[in-house]
């Protein structure tokens, strides 16, 4: 069972909640994350490396609920149409380290 929320630091309802019953889970390495961010007029590609034990689950009957607040993260999730979606997979960990690497400029 998953029931996690990201709270608005200014109070009010959560920005988003992920809840429901996950599917089958298996031990797995952490999946690296790649981010793209504009910075000083350039687009940067940034990787985040993680390590530590984790479990990857099938999405099962988990749903994402986006709060109705005005926090920029909630507005972004709504604009992407993510409210009510079911993830393909979920990765969890209780002991993790992550490293945000230096961004690399990418061409336009």
> Looking at residue 13, what is its pLDDT?
87
| Tens-digit pLDDT profile for residues 48-62 | 998 999 999 999 899
pLDDT computed for residue 32 by the predictor: 85
| Nearest CA-CA partner of 98 in 46, 63, 48, 62 | 48
Q: Contact at 8 Å (CB) between 32 and 45?
A: no
Confidence (pLDDT) at 30 = 86
Angle at 49 between CA 25 and CA 36, to 5 degrees: 105
pLDDT tens, position by position, 19-50: 999 999 999 988 889 999 999 999 999 999 98
pLDDT at 108: 62
Is the distance from CB of 15 to CB of 64 less than 8 angstroms? no
């Amino acid at each position: 069972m998953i029931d996690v929320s990201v709270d608005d630091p200014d109070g009010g309802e959560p920005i988003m909640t992920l809840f429901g019953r996950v599917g089958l889970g298996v031990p797995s390495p952490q999946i690296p994350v790649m981010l793209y961010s504009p910075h000083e007029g350039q687009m940067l590609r940034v990787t985040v490396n993680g390590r530590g034990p984790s479990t990857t689950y099938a999405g099962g009957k988990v749903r994402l609920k986006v709060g109705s607040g005005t926090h920029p993260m909630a507005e972004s999730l709504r604009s992407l149409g993510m409210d009510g979606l079911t993830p393909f997979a979920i990765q969890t960990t209780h002991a993790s380290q992550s490293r945000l690497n230096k961004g690399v400029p990418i061409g336009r």
